[in-house]
Amino acid sequence: MGRLFGTDGVRGVANEGLTAEMALGLSVAAAHVLAEAGSFDDHRPVAVVGRDPRASGEFLEAAVVAGLASAGVDVLRVGVLPTPAVAYLTGSLGADLGVMLSASHNPMPDNGIKFFARGGHKLADELEDRIETLYHEHESGRSWDRPTGAGVGRVRDYDEGFDNYVAHLVGVLPNRLDGLKVVIDGAHGAAARVSPEAFARAGAEVITIGTDPDGLNINEECGSTHLDGLRAAVVEHGADLGVAHDGDADRCLAVAAGGEEIDGDQILAVLALAMKEAGRLRHDTVVATVMSNLGFKLAMRREGIGLTQTAVGDRYVLEEMKRGGYSLGGEQSGHVIVLDHATTGDGTLTGLMLAARVAVTGTPLLELAGVMERLPQVLVNVRDVDKSRVGTSAEVAAAVAEVERELGETGRVLLRSSGTEPLVRVMVEAADSEQARSAAARLADVVKSALG
């Protein structure tokens, strides 16, 4: 039996891999595990439950709420809000548990369940493991202890969550956005109302696309995975910049005035410099993953900013930020964590802070992003190989060493095994795109030959 919890909660095709029964059972199990861990000692537990606009979120939300209330947990139902909003409200309201129903940038038929602990932080791995174990024990016949009478949880809608979260976002900005024209692509997702409202309250003139969710159109040819519509809208309206979210708005990519894409590395670079200048970049260090462009690393070195790199995944970035006491981290995909103001990646906050930098400096976004030069990066997936041997093959190691000698200081090689498929990812960066393509193809051939 495979593990239910992945790097970002439990996901699956709604009503197939992720059923109402599973959502209910996991919620009851979570309540019991947190109670056993002492999280509910001496008080009646409270949970915050939110979702993105997917049609399946309606029945899954009902199942989660039923499960929690049946376990004696009071529920504050906040409705359609971004994942970082649920995390923020879990912390600000002093709730014992947060639950978000979303599959982020995945297609509409998928959905997912993510749990947050007190304070709005992701559950520790050992708690997720215990929840999964208890859930399977119940599936095998173990009965729950069930409260009755006044012991059952009470459920109410918490409509104030929207305003509280938007006020928080606007309140932490270093300056207003007056004079900026911004296009926002909400991906027909959880940020469809929140992001335009936050930018408008901060003083920007806002134009919106992808902000009419109907439960079926989330991420459909829009949002951070499909930037063409945003590029066109920014150019058409003569906007200063565009901001694109994914379905649950925990990430953000941007578009400059001429339609140029600004990726997560560039956003991170702009914010790192801004925070260093303001004395808010703790230890003058930023955290990123090994997939960040070499151009980002070179730019940070030039600007006197330290760089700590982690495995791919925003959870690893967050773990390193907490461990080292750092204030800024993120991924090329647009997950940016500003730990002074959020416990998880927050796409709306990221977009607001990026716009604030444009506003206060009076410098176009493309020029700000020019602090780093994106080196050509080529990624080749080599399928049907024994990925377990990628780190032990002498033939592969020799080929990598040879390419690294050729690239010198102006390039980089990264080989890593896929966590979910029988393949090895070969990534090469170089100053010249043809050199990167040629080197990646050569290494891919060696990997196929040595590990096939």
Neighbours of 142 (CB within 10 A): 10
Which residue, chain included where needed, has tokens 């096939």? 452
Bridge partners (DSSP) listed for residue 262: 254
For residue 38, what is the DSSP state? Answer: T
- Residue 248 marked in a binding site: yes
Report residue 30 as tokens.
Answer: 């979570």
Q: Phi/psi at 374 (nearest 5 deg)? A: -75, 115
312 contacts 291 by C-beta, under 8 angstroms:
yes
Is residue 104 annotated as involved in ligand binding?
yes
Distance, CA of 105 to chain centre: 9
User: Is the distance from CB of 199 to CB of 356 less than 8 angstroms?
Assistant: no
104 labelled catalytic: yes
Q: At what angle do helices 160-171 and 347-361 cross, to 10 degrees?
A: 40
Instruction: Give the list of residues 6+ apart from residue 397 with CB closer than 8 angstroms, or none.
Output: none
Closest CA to 190 of 102, 114, 107, 121: 102
Query: Which residues contact residue 203 at a Cβ distance below 8 angstroms, ignoring those fewer than 6 apart?
Result: 176, 177, 178, 179, 180
Task: Report DSSP state, residue 411.
Answer: -
Q: Which helix (H) or strand (E) holds 429?
A: strand 423-429
Give me 364's structure tokens: 């176009």
* Exposure of 89 in the CB half-sphere (CA atoms within 13 A): 29
> CB under 8 Å to 281, separation ≥6 — which residues?
272, 275, 305, 327, 328
Residues 6+ positions from 209 with CB-CB distance below 8 Å: 183, 184, 185, 186, 222, 229, 230, 233
Instruction: Indicate which residue of 104, 195, 333, 393 is catalytic.
Output: 104
Residue 114 pairs in a beta bridge with 100
Binding-site annotation: residue ranges for Mg(2+) = 104, 246, 248, 250
Binding-site annotation: residue ranges = 104, 246, 248, 250
Active site residues: 104
